[in-house]
Amino acid sequence: MKTFGDERIAAGERCLVVDLAGCTGMDSTFMGTLAGMASRLSGKEPGVLQIAEASARNRRSLEDLGLDFLMEIDPSNAVWKDNLDSIRSSLKAPKSAVIPGQAQRTQHVLEAHQELSETNEKNARTFSTVINLLENELEEKRKLAEPPENG
């Protein structure tokens, strides 16, 4: 989702919609990915990330982390609101689906949690241990990937 969102933002899209109708729950990495996309959309040329059909549980999860201030959750005036079924039926999977390696996945998880931490002080406290562990894990992977020094 991150790659696809980044591609669309780079292509000039100013409104991205994430449909959570089939989503039974979200973890912090997914919510951090949403936060990152919302932050990138609100950059130089203001844009918006909109969430479609968030269940009560998913809405509460987003609100608990303060993400409702970064994105619009089920906005009543959204242009797609009355056409969801038609839009869903015409969607196709992105062609550029590449499965990242372990280091890339760890980097993504780290960045997602850093995004959450930057949202507010409560999140910074909540995710500080996770961020430290992931930074240490990436450092160890980097050290293992480096060729040994001859000297």
User: Pseudo-torsion of CA 78, 68, 6, 100, nearest 10°?
Assistant: -130
pLDDT of residue 126: 97
Nearest to 8 by CA among 78, 96, 71, 70: 96
> pLDDT, tens digit, for every residue of 18-55?
999 999 999 999 999 999 999 999 886 789 999 999 99
- Tell me: pLDDT of 151 over 60: no
Res. 94: pLDDT tops 70 = yes
126 part of a folded domain: yes
Residue 73 near residue 87, CB atoms below 8 Å: no
In a domain? residue 149: no
Q: Does residue 74 register a pLDDT over 90?
A: yes
Reference 61, options 94, 34, 22; nearest CA is 34
Residue 7 in domain: yes
Helices (H), 11-83: 28-41, 56-64
Query: Considering the chain, what is the average pLDDT of its residues?
Result: 91
Q: For 94, phi and psi rounded to 5 degrees? A: -65, 150
Give the range of the structural domain holding residue 118, as residue numbers without chain letter: 2-144
